A and B are shown apart, each in its own frame.
Chain A
Amino acid sequence: MEWYLPVIWAGLIGTAVMLYVVLDGFDLGIAILFPTTKDEGERDQMMNSVAPFWDGNETWLVLGGGGLWVAFPQAYAIIMPAFYIPVILMLLALIFRGVAFEFRWVAKPHHHRWDLAFWLGSTVAAFSQGLILGGLIQGVTVANGQFAGGPFDWLTPFTVMCGLGVVVGYALLGATWLIFKTEGPVAERARRQARTLLLALMGFAALVSLWTPLAHPRIAERWFTPGNLALLWPFPVLTAFCGYMAWKRLHGAHEFTPFAFTIAIFLLCFLGLSISNFPYLVPPSVTIWDAAAAPSSHVFVLIGVAFLLPMILFYTAFVYWTFRGKVRSDSGYH
């Protein structure tokens, strides 16, 4: 039990983070693409394509953060102070992003500042998430179970690159979502943008795949030990294949598959990073077993998860089903 519980919880939190990245990724992505049109109707259409979902999507971030505290309080207590500035930046940016959904409509016709808040908030939130991701990969200084580094340890060329990579990746999710959910000029422009973004994202993925093993021997060892390599080679190959498929589908008339392949790329990259760092929750020193909460706490919440998570997935699917199809103009409450 003592050994399995942290593994189960790591899987759960990984799932929550992955769902957050994909679901809120396209919300943030359409906002990142907001300045690429000046047309009012098109912006309405873009925002409406995510308006009924964004709140539920963002909740996965709360589950990711809350879940980390539930299951690995020690890791939560190290990561949050270590990334104090990017976490606060992300929270403030998400405030602007979140309220822009409502304020923009109420403030019309004087809503341009909220368009700016929507774009800037989403872009900064995405960039901060990339900084945190990069900072975790490069490692956190820990002493006596506490964060012991400096306030700007998270700011390095590598983390900035990860920040840019996440912005590009979310923009791609947003663009492929727009291909799926809208029609007309919005969808056409998104298709053009998606091609460039796809190339850029694949570039970032390749860069991270080279940079991390070169900079961290433990990651090189994980991937290139002969026994491991025999097992792990499908991950990069599959990622490249999904990139290729997304590229091909973007050049046809496909509406859903570009989005699906983009999700697959995200999933594979996420798995790849997990493989690089397992079993460390806070590389390079704190493992999931070091950071785990009391087994009783793990079990108590797992019981709830067993009942509630399927329900959450069910009614999340119900909401997406309710607002299925292309964006229509009649569903607002404004």
Chain B
Amino acid sequence: MVIDAFLLSRIQFAFTVSFHIVFPAFTIGLSAYIATLLGLWLKTGDAKFHLLARFWTKIFAVSFAMGVVSGIVLSYQFGTNWSRFSTAVGNVIGPLIGYEVLSAFFLEASFLGVMLFGWKRVPPWLHFLSAVIVAGGTALSGFWILSANSWMQYPAGHEVRDGIAYPVDWMKIVFNPTFPLRFAHMMTAAYLTTAFVVLATGARHLLAGHRTESAKTMVRMAILMIALTAPLQAVIGDFHGRDTATYQPAKLAAIEAHWDSSKPGALVLFAWPDEKAELNRFEISIPGVASLVTHGSMNALFPSLKDFKVEDRPPVLIPFFAFRAMVGIGVLMILFGWVGAWLWRKGTVFESRRWLWIAQYTWPAGFIAILSGWFVTEVGRQPWLATGIIRSADAVSPVTTLQVAISLALFVCVYSVVFTAGILLINRLIDKGPDEISGEDAPEQPSQRPLKAAQGEAAAIFGDGKPGDDKIQPAI
């Protein structure tokens, strides 16, 4: 392996995109959760929902900022490090990114201001609407990004002239074949990931002795979400896998470590795929099951890695192991969610210290699964950057190795400092808990205040009644 601008650019992109995806995944889910909480609060008037919405908004603000700044890096890196890619597919991918910025990025970024700073500036319904718009904007952002990425996986609706892709049919480009399921898979992953963070937070507070209504509410809402979406995700994932079998057979062969197309694919539980010898070492497998899952029959034959020329094969180790990590975590998520639902039904979930003890450590589960899934799909697309159009090795910018080495070193240093600080700060916010736990902002809790003041607050919040300190003030 030669250390050149190409290798370093790959490492740099993998590093920056992996750091980035963690935050949008979390904020897509969290913005939807906050919007739900605000909606419930408007509907029921129950203060715990308001308390929780405020609590999660603080964490959202920190996470969103990290998502924004790490995302801008990516939109420029296509040019700085992959300029030949930008030229080759710019006609097709550029507009998708353009639509992302125009339709989603502005929406989330602008209404974020109202969501964070508008608690007392705008009426509650408008504040709720802003939260809904932010949640919708983050999901819409995902829509375009997943569309662009899916197009790179399996391009459609275009023609290639002199190595450059030209659009032919925009509907086919945007809704390319692997896009719908990939998008569904990612959105569900984002909501599921956030549910585990909420669950872990609630569990942590309960275990710390803060047996508050808000902690219980977090645990209940998270269990409900996990018990429903974790199995749904397995179903979506299964369909997505069949897409891969149809459209990206080389990737599927790498995932399954399938070397011999004369035999049905076995479900390889464990192995060490040896790419040089073109076989699996230490293999433990169940014959026929991979064929059954991907092609619907124990005897179905499908292309193996050997059916592709060596230079057209993706690396095997990373897709193989990352896929198993993702699926393993997914299965544990389903089991854990169902046990939680069962305990909840029995009425003992808040007493089950063992379950809660595990629950408090489940917060990274979704993030690890998401990263693993992306490793599978991105490494599995190699050696192509946009399948059939441009190879990764041909896409790198005319920049020097030294330049990329310096920038990569800077990215590693800056990200280590900034994101470590960010995660520690989020951790501190989570530990502090909603204001009813920390007691820092006591006036938030109506029961500790004179009734009259509480009424004043309610009047201010709901926008009718007498003017108080919190009342929306006229403009200057």
Could you list which residues of chain A lie within 8 angstroms of chain B, going by C-beta atoms? 51-53, 55-56, 58-59, 61-63, 65-67, 69-71, 73-74, 76-81, 84-85, 87-88, 91-92, 94-96, 98-99, 101-103, 106-107, 145-148, 151, 293-294, 296-297, 300-301, 304-305, 308-309, 312, 315-316, 319, 322-326, 328, 330-334
Provided the pairs A95-B414, A99-B66 are in contact, do residues A326 and B476 lie with their beta carbons within 8 angstroms?
yes
Q: Pick 16 A–B contacts, CB within 8 A, sort by A.
A: A55-B113, A56-B109, A65-B75, A66-B94, A76-B86, A77-B87, A80-B83, A81-B80, A81-B399, A103-B65, A106-B58, A151-B399, A297-B90, A312-B110, A326-B476, A331-B119
Provided the pairs A52-B114, A98-B69, A151-B400 are in contact, do residues A59 and B109 lie with their beta carbons within 8 angstroms?
yes
What CA separation (Å) do A257 and B90 show in the bound complex? 42
Provided the pairs A106-B58, A106-B425 are in contact, do residues A151 and B166 lie with their beta carbons within 8 angstroms?
no
Chain A residues whose CB sits within 8 angstroms of the CB of B76 once the complex forms: 65, 80, 87, 91
Q: Which of A66, A95, A106 contacts B98 (CB 8 A)?
A: A66
What CA separation (Å) do A210 and B316 show in the bound complex? 60
Query: Are B121 and A55 within 8 A (Cβ)?
Result: no
Instruction: With CB as the reference atom, state the residue of chain A lying closest to B120.
Output: A330
Query: Are B79 and A106 within 8 A (Cβ)?
Result: no
Chain A residues whose CB sits within 8 angstroms of the CB of B66 once the complex forms: 99
Q: B84 within 8 Å of A by Cβ?
A: yes
What CA separation (Å) do A55 and B92 show in the bound complex? 27
CB distance from B333 to the nearest CB of A (A): 29
Chain A residues whose CB sits within 8 angstroms of the CB of B107 once the complex forms: 312, 315
Query: Are B105 and A151 within 8 A (Cβ)?
Result: no
Query: Are A81 and B83 within 8 A (Cβ)?
Result: yes
Instruction: With CB as the reference atom, state the residue of chain A lying closest to B432.
Output: A106
Query: Are A87 and B80 within 8 A (Cβ)?
Result: yes
Provided the pairs A69-B94, A77-B90, A88-B410 are in contact, do residues A300 and B61 lie with their beta carbons within 8 angstroms?
no
Describe B's contact surface by its main secondary structure. Answer: helix
Could you list which residues of chain B lie within 8 angstroms of chain A, going by C-beta atoms? 54, 57-58, 61-62, 64-66, 68-70, 72-73, 75-76, 78-81, 83-84, 86-87, 90-92, 94-95, 97-103, 105-107, 109-114, 116-122, 166-168, 170, 397-400, 402-403, 406-407, 410-411, 414, 418, 421-422, 425, 428-429, 469-470, 473, 475-476
Query: Are A322 and B68 within 8 A (Cβ)?
Result: no
Query: Are A51 and B407 within 8 A (Cβ)?
Result: no
Chain A residues whose CB sits within 8 angstroms of the CB of B61 once the complex forms: 102, 333
Query: Are A103 and B475 within 8 A (Cβ)?
Result: no
- Among B57, B72, B100, B107, max chain A CB count under 10 A is at B72
Query: Are B90 and A325 within 8 A (Cβ)?
Result: no
Chain A residues whose CB sits within 8 angstroms of the CB of B101 once the complex forms: 59, 62-63, 66-67
Instruction: With CB as the reference atom, state the residue of chain A lying closest to B406.
Output: A85
